[in-house]
Amino acid sequence: MKEQIKKTLYRVAEDVLEKLAFIFSFPEDERENIDYASAVTAKVSFTGPFTGTLVMAVSSRALPELAGNMLGLEDDEEPTLEQRYDAVKELINVICGNLLPAVAGKETLFNVDPPKIIKDLENDMKAFSSENEEGPNPLAAARLDIDEGQCDLLLFVEGDIPTDAIHSE
């Protein structure tokens, strides 16, 4: 089940990045996590047949192109910090909105909270931790190399996903 969800996360992320941000991505499972200190990180939480949070970190150096593409800016126009944040929040929102039906089926309903930029990742990540001293373990992770940097997606789920909540493709 974990491997199926991981493959779905990769597929959805690659599709959304290409169609929404005109950014091509390549799976890079073997690399380390992105440097979260120099990345812009956002999260979106959801409830439904299962509850969880999707976290996305994007390299800061990739944000100008990503936001510019999403906003249709000219090459010489530099997106503002607010526009960059909005682009990351929109991306994670669309990825989550496509991921949940791909995992649980198109007829399944979820309540999705508005996406938020995470300012203090270390503190925020503690909310995903249990008694695990090494930190939280995502159910699925997608590590992508993109045109100008990297993008990591981490799917955290509270408890176990009921097997009847998983949609088989």
> How many DSSP H helices and E strands does the chain contain?
4, 7
Here the CATH number for the domain that contains residue 114 is 3.40.1550.10
Of all residues in the chain, the percent with pLDDT exceeding 90 is 46
Q: For the packed helices 2-21 and 81-104, what is the interaxial angle rounded to 10 degrees?
A: 140
Return the pLDDT at 132.
42
Q: Render pLDDT for 103-160 as a digit per residue (tens, 0 to 9).
A: 988 888 999 999 999 986 555 555 554 444 445 688 999 999 887 789 999 999 987 7
Q: C-alpha angle with apex 150: 73 to 160, nearest 5 degrees?
A: 115
Return the pLDDT at 131.
42
Return the pLDDT at 140.
92
Q: What is the pTM of this model?
A: 0.85
Alpha helices by DSSP H, listed for the chain, are: 2-21, 63-71, 81-104, 121-125
- C-alpha–C-alpha distance, residues 49 and 51, integer Å: 7
The phi, psi pair for 157, rounded to 5°, reads: -130, 135
When divided into structural domains, the chain yields a total of 1
Contact by Cβ (8 Å): 143, 48:
no
Q: Which domain holds residue 155?
A: 2-165
Return the pLDDT at 157.
92
